[in-house]
């Protein structure tokens, strides 16, 4: 177990649970739940909650339910319930029970009746605007609704008629009778039920009144025997209400709500509303666009479940509201892929090289290791031929300082192959470099050249065997670290978040079927975008670049130059 593991498993929440286990608070049992509302796709912030809730169940030998918090029929959809299950399973977690808050609608209704009978809930007939007005403000107390003094009989009658569909949307609302002068606005007679004549994705048209979050969530937890109800800190102010309902109802148990800090992540937005907006406006091509911080987007981008779980472990659980740097996530995926991704060669921006002293009809089969540090991953073969492609960025007519790739008259090694020397730069009429004429040193295959040092090593692909492909390079979706904290986030879309290269040349082994991520040597980690092939051949998505010391050197040089 690594140190980061122990960190993630030793948060303040874990300490609370350990203590509860010691004192036998819940009969020595631990039960959690992951309760998404099915109104959008899961994102990296949910991953933190998933890892926490399922991780705790795993660690303490408890249970964790997947529960759809589906009390708002107008926003929810079955499409989302399916996508959510796919994502949770993809991360490698198994729920104990698959639940729907809507499965408890009847029980919730009965409990509401109970509260009315106790004189602790009433039907209010004020308009929405009036209710807002009566609620008061942060600094001034609210005032009682004139309907607050309705008799129990009247409330019972009205609530039952609400259920039977007698009233229009918004005509009445069921409220808890608590305290209109509470300094905590949440406690100023919170709404429990609203009338909505709407089709529900799970209960159909069985109901026309729907319970609200505060009333539903605590009871759902209690009904499922949840011991620790973990949520983010914005729900902290609602904890008194969570407890109020459970204290006033004959529920089977009283779970404990504990809040942790929500994840904020640089250069993106983590809000379902904003993500949905990006999809709707067409800034991205769907919830699973590889630039999206959704789990489906990250999956298509090439992130592995292990890397996301490791990320969750590394960021830890606290009540702080911080913003995590992108480099941390990138470090997690690089660690995983460096260890596990087979290496391949791919030329992204091809430049033809003709090795003039290599016989026209000759061809050698080279053996290439699939992984430089893991021989057990085997090897593959690649033909060496007279014409090859190298990357345009690996050649410079006027090289900047410290450039150690190919230059006119200079030498460089073709990775796994020979050392070549650039003899001539051939240009077209417009002055663009068309191809390079080189020679090779036949005595450099698998050995260092005699009497000189060749520092540069570049990747290449044999021209006649190259496989065409389109490669998509992704960058951060936003151009500033905290787009949500600076006015309209849509003003900060990074125009270069996607760069498509459609004339890429891959080594032939990449046309064979494979499922894992691969490293294109000296470029980065990539994955096949299944089901998104184009007329340019296979489509690869760049998951993340390799660390790039050369890029840093260039940036420093550029900074010095200005």
Partner RNA sequence: UGGGCCGUCGCCAAGCGGUAAGGCACUGGGUUUUGAUCCCAGCAUUCGCAGGUUCGAAUCCUGCCGGCCCAGCCA
Active site residues: 37, 262, 272
Q: What's the min distance (Å) between Cβ of 169 and RNA?
A: 7
How many other C-beta atoms are found inside a 10 Å radius of the C-beta of residue 203? 16
**Is the dihedral angle over the CA atoms 284, 303, 389, 470 positive or is it negative?**
negative
Residue 371 binds RNA, judged by CB under 7 A: yes
Residue 324 binds RNA, judged by CB under 7 A: yes
The residue among 149 and 547 lying less far from RNA, judged by its C-beta, is: 547
Binding residue for RNA, selected from 330, 363, 441, 475, defined by CB under 7 A:
330
Only one of the segments 156-164, 320-328, 421-429, 531-539 lies at the binding site for RNA (rule: CB under 7 A); that segment is 320-328
Residue 180 binds RNA, judged by CB under 7 A: no
Contact string 45-74 vs RNA (x = CB under 7 A)? ------------------------x-xx--
Only one of the segments 40-48, 127-135, 381-389, 463-471 lies at the binding site for RNA (rule: CB under 7 A); that segment is 127-135
Using the 8-state DSSP alphabet, how is residue 167 labeled? S
> Rule CB under 7 A: which of 181-200 touch RNA?
183-186, 191, 194-195
> Rule CB under 7 A: which of 240-259 touch RNA?
none
The residue among 412 and 477 lying less far from RNA, judged by its C-beta, is: 412
- How far is 310 from 59, CA to CA, in rounded Å? 16
**Is the dihedral angle over the CA atoms 475, 479, 484, 485 positive or is it negative?**
positive
Binding residue for RNA, selected from 79, 321, 424, 434, defined by CB under 7 A:
321
Partner residues linked to 379 by β-bridges: 369
Binding residue for RNA, selected from 19, 82, 94, 128, defined by CB under 7 A:
128
Binding residue for RNA, selected from 238, 472, 505, 542, defined by CB under 7 A:
238
Largest CA distance in the chain: 102
Binding residue for RNA, selected from 173, 176, 208, 226, defined by CB under 7 A:
173
Q: What's the min distance (Å) between Cβ of 512 and RNA?
A: 20
The residue among 393 and 536 lying less far from RNA, judged by its C-beta, is: 393
> Rule CB under 7 A: which of 390-449 touch RNA?
402-405, 413, 415-417, 444-447
Q: Which residue has the tokens 């091809």?
A: 350
H-helix or E-strand containing 471?
strand 467-474
> Is 287 in contact with 299 (CB distance < 8 Å)?
no
Residue 107 binds RNA, judged by CB under 7 A: no
Residue 335 binds RNA, judged by CB under 7 A: yes
φ and ψ at residue 30, rounded to 5 degrees: -125, 125
Residue 137 binds RNA, judged by CB under 7 A: yes
> Is 17 in contact with 49 (CB distance < 8 Å)?
no
Residue 25 binds RNA, judged by CB under 7 A: no
Contact string 270-289 vs RNA (x = CB under 7 A)? --------------------
H-helix or E-strand containing 501?
strand 498-506
- How far is 289 from 302, CA to CA, in rounded Å? 11
Residue 261 binds RNA, judged by CB under 7 A: yes
> Is 405 in contact with 412 (CB distance < 8 Å)?
yes
Q: Which two tokens stand for residue 22?
A: 């010691």
Say how many residues touch RNA, by CB under 7 A: 92
Residue 155 binds RNA, judged by CB under 7 A: no
Binding residue for RNA, selected from 92, 146, 165, 322, defined by CB under 7 A:
322
Binding residue for RNA, selected from 1, 3, 450, 560, defined by CB under 7 A:
3
By three-state DSSP, how is residue 520 classified?
Answer: strand
Q: What's the min distance (Å) between Cβ of 132 and RNA?
A: 4
Binding residue for RNA, selected from 46, 63, 100, 343, defined by CB under 7 A:
343
> Rule CB under 7 A: which of 484-513 touch RNA?
485
Residue 12 binds RNA, judged by CB under 7 A: yes
Q: What's the min distance (Å) between Cβ of 137 and RNA?
A: 4
The residue among 389 and 498 lying less far from RNA, judged by its C-beta, is: 389
CA atoms within 13 A of residue 85's CA, in its CB half-sphere: 12
H-helix or E-strand containing 505?
strand 498-506
Binding residue for RNA, selected from 15, 97, 149, 427, defined by CB under 7 A:
15
The residue among 114 and 482 lying less far from RNA, judged by its C-beta, is: 482
Q: What stretches of 164-316 show up as alpha helix (H) in DSSP?
A: 213-223, 239-248, 272-281, 295-301, 305-315
Only one of the segments 115-123, 366-374, 420-428, 492-500 lies at the binding site for RNA (rule: CB under 7 A); that segment is 366-374
- How far is 327 from 195, CA to CA, in rounded Å? 47
Residue 452 binds RNA, judged by CB under 7 A: no
By three-state DSSP, how is residue 495 classified?
Answer: coil
Residue 90 binds RNA, judged by CB under 7 A: no
Angle between helices 213-223 and 239-248 (to 10 degrees): 60
SS (H, E, C) 337-402: HHHHCCEECEECCEEEEEECCCCCCCCEEEEEECCCCCHHHCEEEEEECCEEEEEHHHECCCCCCC
Q: What's the min distance (Å) between Cβ of 518 and RNA?
A: 11
What's the gap between Cα 357 and its chain centre?
51
The residue among 365 and 428 lying less far from RNA, judged by its C-beta, is: 365
**Residue among 88, 37, 39 nearest 64 (CA):** 88
Q: Which two tokens stand for residue 528?
A: 């096949």
Residue 521 binds RNA, judged by CB under 7 A: yes
> Is 163 in contact with 109 (CB distance < 8 Å)?
yes
Q: What's the min distance (Å) between Cβ of 383 and RNA?
A: 16
- Residues in contact with 546: Cβ distance below 8 Å, sequence separation at least 6, in sequence order: 334, 519, 522, 523, 524, 525
* Kind of pairing between the strands at 173-176 and 121-124: antiparallel
Q: What's the min distance (Å) between Cβ of 193 and RNA?
A: 8
Residue 235 binds RNA, judged by CB under 7 A: yes
Q: Which residue has the tokens 């025997």?
A: 225
Q: What's the min distance (Å) between Cβ of 4 and RNA?
A: 6
Residue 170 binds RNA, judged by CB under 7 A: yes
Residue 217 binds RNA, judged by CB under 7 A: yes
């Amino acid at each position: 177990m690594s140190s980061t593991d122990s960190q993630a498993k030793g948060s303040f929440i874990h300490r609370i649970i350990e203590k509860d286990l010691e004192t036998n608070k819940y009969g020595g049992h631990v039960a959690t739940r992951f309760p998404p509302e099915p109104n959008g796709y899961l994102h990296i912030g949910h991953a933190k909650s998933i890892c926490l809730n399922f991780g705790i169940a795993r660690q303490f030998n408890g249970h964790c339910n997947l529960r759809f918090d589906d009390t708002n029929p107008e926003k929810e959809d079955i499409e989302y319930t399916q996508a959510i299950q796919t994502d949770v399973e993809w991360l490698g977690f198994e729920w104990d029970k698959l639940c729907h808050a809507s499965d408890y609608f009847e029980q919730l209704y009965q409990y509401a009746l109970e509260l009315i009978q106790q004189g602790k809930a009433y039907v209010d007939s004020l308009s929405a605007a009036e209710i807002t007005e009566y609620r008061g403000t942060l600094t001034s107390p609210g005032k009682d609704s004139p309907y607050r003094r309705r008799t129990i009989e009247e409330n019972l009658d009205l609530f039952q008629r609400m259920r039977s569909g007698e009233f229009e949307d918004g005509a009445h609302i069921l409220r808890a009778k608590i305290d209109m002068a509470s300094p905590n606005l949440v406690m100023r007679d919170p709404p429990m039920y609203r009338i909505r004549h709407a089709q529900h994705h799970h209960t159909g048209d069985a109901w026309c009144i729907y319970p609200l979050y505060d009333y539903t969530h605590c009871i759902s937890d209690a009904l499922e025997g949840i011991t620790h109800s973990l949520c983010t800190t914005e729900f902290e102010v609602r904890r008194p209400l969570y407890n109020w309902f459970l204290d006033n109802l004959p529920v089977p148990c009283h779970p404990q709500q504990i809040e942790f800090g929500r994840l904020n992540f640089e250069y993106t937005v983590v809000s379902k509303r904003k993500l949905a907006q990006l999809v709707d406006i067409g800034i991205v091509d769907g919830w699973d666009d590889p630039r999206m911080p959704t789990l489906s987007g990250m999956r298509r981008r090439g992130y592995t479940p292990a890397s996301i779980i490791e990320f969750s472990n590394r960021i830890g659980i606290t009540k702080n509201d911080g913003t995590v740097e992108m480099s941390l996530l990138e470090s997690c995926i690089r660690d995983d892929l460096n260890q596990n991704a087979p290496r391949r060669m791919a030329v992204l921006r091809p430049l033809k090289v003709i090795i003039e002293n290599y016989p026209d009809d000759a061809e050698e089969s080279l053996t290439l290791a699939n992984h430089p540090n893991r021989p057990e991953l085997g090897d593959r073969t690649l033909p060496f031929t007279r014409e090859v492609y190298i990357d345009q960025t690996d050649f410079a007519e006027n090289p900047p300082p410290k450039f150690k790739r190919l230059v006119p008259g200079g030498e460089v090694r073709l990775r796994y192959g020979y050392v070549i020397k650039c003899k001539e730069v051939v240009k077209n009429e417009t002055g663009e470099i068309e191809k390079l004429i080189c020679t090779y040193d036949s005595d450099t295959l698998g050995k260092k050249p005699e009497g000189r040092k060749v520092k540069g090593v570049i990747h290449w692909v044999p021209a006649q065997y190259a496989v065409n492909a389109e490669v998509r390079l992704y960058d951060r979706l936003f151009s500033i670290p905290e787009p949500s904290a600076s006015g309209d986030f849509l003003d900060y879309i990074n125009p270069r978040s996607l760069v498509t290269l459609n004339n890429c040349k891959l080594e032939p082994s990449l046309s064979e079927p494979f499922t894992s991520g691969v490293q294109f040597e000296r470029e980065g980690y990539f994955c096949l975008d299944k089901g998104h092939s184009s007329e340019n051949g296979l489509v690869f998505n760049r998951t993340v670049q390799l660390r790039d010391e050369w890029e840093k050197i260039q940036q420093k040089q550029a900074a010095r130059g200005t």
